[in-house]
Amino acid sequence: MPISSLTVGEFREWILSDLVSGDDIKAISEGILPEMAAAVSKIMRNQDLIRAAAKIRHVTSFRSTIGLPGCLSVRLQPNDPTDDPKGIAAQIMDGLSYGCGDAVIGINPATDNFQSVSRLNYMLDELREKFRIPTQSCVLTHITTTIKAIEKNVPVDLIFQSIGGTQGVNESFGVSYDILKEGFEAGRSLNRGTIGNNYMYFETGQGSALSANANWGVDQQTIEARAYGLARCFDPLLVNSVVGFIGPEYLYNGKQITRAGLEDHFCGKLLGLPMGVDICYTNHADADQDDMDGLLTLLGVAGCNFIMGVAGADDVMLNYQSTSFHDAMYIRTVLGLKPAPEFEEWLYQMQLFDKGMLPRKLDGTNRLMLDPSSF
């Protein structure tokens, strides 16, 4: 159905119609302007955002398949304030034992130092190869550092970059379309995916353009949707909004964070992206973990592709609160969701989980016996 003549209200009615499927929405996603996606989200109730997003599935793959119906993946985020390999390895072992890591094992490095970034890439690759984990790794450094690592034959899986919705905010991140394309082409040259070749990973977040003085008076949600328009140019494996990370200067309390998370997830899916959400808040926000439990549950119902898995839900390097390995277990259990199928089978083979997706105790019966001191 042509949509160019529809008003914003009529577009909402079309999206929510029982006669319109997720495939129908996907078929026109490339023709939707980010500004129109943001506009229609603003006249939707929360339940509208959930219902519409739940219709849409964007499936991507590299070594695991992400976004299938009935599945919810987790980025295992083992950050350490000093990039200590032993501390990172301990968190990875903990996360894997709770079935986390099928979206990516992704480290935010404490420094953009090339030697440190390279060491972490080698460590992740060695770990993945040792245990034959069907997932992908990523060190979330600046894309230019990743390009340099590829040139030096460092084992790189995913190409990461934070992006925004105006040229000004992207310049504040030190990137442009041309730099992103250079990274995209560098990733293509590696051909490291086994079941697919989606290898770009983008993070976004409401407020980044405002904090960079680069929003031109435009509201946060519209600028955020424009970032999704940029991301879809590169066929990414993962895109996530770090919805509460910037702080109460942009999203004041738990209610605003919840609303923004549902808006971002819906707009990203509407524009053709495999959306995840870092369900999070900063310690000076008027929010708490109960607010995150609510948003986690709503996004699970809405068909979110992936969430974060952080030890204790407390990122000791970035100093913010997110979702824990236990939270991932909660949402999968209460909604009957599973990890990516390749990763699920690996969990059975390693005797980390039984066929009911219940975790086994980490003891001699497990085949995953990782000694953090070996790193």
Which domains does the chain carry?
58-353 (3.20.20.70)
- Banded model confidence at residue 359, pLDDT cuts 50, 70, 90: confident
- Banded model confidence at residue 294, pLDDT cuts 50, 70, 90: very high
Cβ–Cβ < 8 Å for 156, 136: no
Report the DSSP pairing between strands 306-309 and 65-66.
unpaired
**Tens digit of pLDDT for each residue in 330-351?**
999 999 999 999 999 999 999 9
Does pLDDT of 152 surpass 70? yes
Q: Which amino acid is at 73?
A: S
Does pLDDT of 171 surpass 70? yes
Q: What 3-state class would DSSP assign to 37?
A: helix
Report the percent of the chain where pLDDT is more than 70: 95
pLDDT at residue 361, rounded to an integer: 57
pLDDT at residue 360, rounded to an integer: 64
Q: Which amino acid is at 146?
A: T
**Angle (nearest 5°) at CA 176 between 192 and 77:** 50
The conformation of residue 1, written as its DSSP 8-state character, comes to -
The mean pLDDT of 285-290, rounded to a whole number, is: 96
Question: Distance (Å, rounded) from C-alpha 59 to C-alpha 48?
Answer: 22
Question: Distance (Å, rounded) from C-alpha 154 to C-alpha 117?
Answer: 10
Q: Cβ of 16: how many Cβ atoms within 10 Å?
A: 15
Distances in Å between the Cα of 219 and the Cα atoms of 18, 38, 60, 226, 270 are 31, 10, 30, 11, 19
Of the candidates 327, 330, 335, 289, the residue with the CA atom closest to the CA atom of residue 309: 327
pLDDT at residue 369, rounded to an integer: 60
- Banded model confidence at residue 3, pLDDT cuts 50, 70, 90: confident
Does pLDDT of 36 surpass 80? yes
The mean pLDDT of 127-137, rounded to a whole number, is: 97
- Banded model confidence at residue 2, pLDDT cuts 50, 70, 90: confident
Q: What 3-state class would DSSP assign to 200?
A: strand
Tallying the residues shown for the chain, one arrives at 375
pLDDT at residue 354, rounded to an integer: 83
**Tens digit of pLDDT for each residue in 211-269?**
889 999 999 999 999 999 999 999 999 999 999 998 898 999 999 999 999 999 999 99
Question: Distance (Å, rounded) from C-alpha 282 to C-alpha 300?
Answer: 22
Return the bridge partners of 75, or none: 104, 308
pLDDT at residue 370, rounded to an integer: 58
Of the candidates 307, 180, 308, the residue with the CA atom closest to the CA atom of residue 232: 180
Does pLDDT of 363 surpass 60? no
The conformation of residue 218, written as its DSSP 8-state character, comes to -
- Looking at per-residue pLDDT, the higher value among 97 and 365 belongs to 97
pLDDT at residue 287, rounded to an integer: 97
- Looking at per-residue pLDDT, the higher value among 239 and 369 belongs to 239
Average pLDDT over all residues of the chain: 94
pLDDT at residue 31, rounded to an integer: 94
- Looking at per-residue pLDDT, the higher value among 152 and 2 belongs to 152
The mean pLDDT of 346-372, rounded to a whole number, is: 71
Q: Cβ of 54: how many Cβ atoms within 10 Å?
A: 17
pLDDT at residue 355, rounded to an integer: 75
Does pLDDT of 134 surpass 80? yes
